[in-house]
Amino acid sequence: MEIRELQWFATLAEYQHVTAAAERLNISQPTLSRAISRLEKRVGVPLFDRHQNRLRLNKYGEVFRAHALRAIGEIDGAEQRIASLVDPDRGTVALGFLHSYGTWLVPDLLAGYRRIAPATYFELRGAAADTVVDDVRRGRLDLGLTSPRPAGDDLQWTPLQDEPLCLLVPSGHRLARRRWVKAAELAEEEFVALQPVFGLRQVADRLCTAAGFRPRITMDCTELSTLRALVAAGLGIAFVPIKGSPSGPGDQAVAVPLKDPEAQRTIGLVAPAEGPRAAAVVRFYDYVRSTAHAFHA
């Protein structure tokens, strides 16, 4: 059964007149009639009731039309998807990223890319680091922006830039007026933190380990905005990205620079081990890697 015959059947079912349908399809009436006869012979029942010069779908035809339209739609969808894979300008890129990158890195990156490829469509998904990495591994995402570098050698990892971390403390905290602080000074403090699946938490835990202590975490959460609010409420201190951290007068939380060389997280681009395949994804992947030096933390 050819997809062309299904399309002819669907047109005839719409017009219910051989002459009108044949004109619409730009084929001869005998060609259309023979195609419908072949179709009916294949399914084993008549699909139309004949009334002189007009046709009317019968109950078998109604059932067959519903399935034929779905089949035609599936074929059309497949053709469109294949076309988008081939066309680097009109394809789709599924991009995952840490939630905090959604406020600065991702918008800046896409704004630059849209100037050279305005027709590319992006599916954007903010998530925890482990989720982003797992979704790239499983093919649910084409690429991911994450930190720290994922374990294992089954993914490609391209470092893009180092993002400094700072210590966020309540405005009345003993360290709030310091010009900088070292992590080793914080062993007796109470911390609030993101949950362990988040990349920032993993980087912060390593920072404390390098300073010789295990942080006393009194509560954890899933959003940086919540983390900052907890600090502002005096419930603990936290390691946060310096980007977007409060620093002006009147803020209830104060960002204090960290002097430790480990106080940073490396932002990287994650791709499948074999690299991206779709043309649109390859083009965006190459753009991100070639313009990494232009990103600003």
List pLDDT tens digits, range 104-136: 999 999 999 999 999 899 999 999 999 999 999
For 285-294, what is the mean pLDDT? 82
Domain match, 252 and 180 both:
yes
Q: What pLDDT does residue 84 have? A: 58
**How many distinct structural domains can be found in the chain?**
3
Domain match, 20 and 73 both:
yes
CB-based burial label for 265 (10 Å; 0-12, 13-18, 19+): buried
Domain match, 208 and 67 both:
no
For 6-26, what is the mean pLDDT? 90
pTM: 0.65
Q: What pLDDT does residue 247 have? A: 59
Domain match, 171 and 217 both:
yes
For 38-49, what is the mean pLDDT? 92
For 64-81, what is the mean pLDDT? 82
Q: Which amino acid is at 255?
A: A
Distances (CA, A) of 277 to 5, 75, 90, 113, 149: 34, 22, 15, 19, 22
List pLDDT tens digits, range 74-94: 887 776 666 656 666 668 899
List pLDDT tens digits, range 228-274: 999 999 999 999 998 866 655 567 999 999 999 999 999 999 999 88
Domain match, 258 and 276 both:
no
Strand partners, 157: 270
Look at strands 216-221 and 190-194 and give their pairing. Answer: parallel
Q: How far apart are CA 22 and CA 116, in angstroms?
A: 45
Q: How far apart are CA 146 and CA 199, in angstroms?
A: 7
User: Helices 29-43 and 3-15, interaxial angle, to 10°?
Assistant: 110
Q: How far apart are CA 143 and CA 285, in angstroms?
A: 8
Q: What pLDDT does residue 296 have? A: 43
Q: pLDDT at residue 46 above 80?
A: yes
pLDDT band at 297 (very low <50, low <70, confident <90, very high): very low
Q: What percent of the chain has pLDDT over 90?
A: 67
pLDDT band at 279 (very low <50, low <70, confident <90, very high): confident
Domain match, 182 and 222 both:
yes
Q: Looking at 86, 117, 140, which one is the last position of a domain?
A: 86
> Which CATH number fits the domain that encloses residue 275?
3.40.190.10
Domain match, 255 and 282 both:
no
Residue numbers of the domain that contains 100? 92-160+266-294
> Which CATH number fits the domain that encloses residue 50?
1.10.10.10
Q: pLDDT at residue 187 above 90?
A: yes
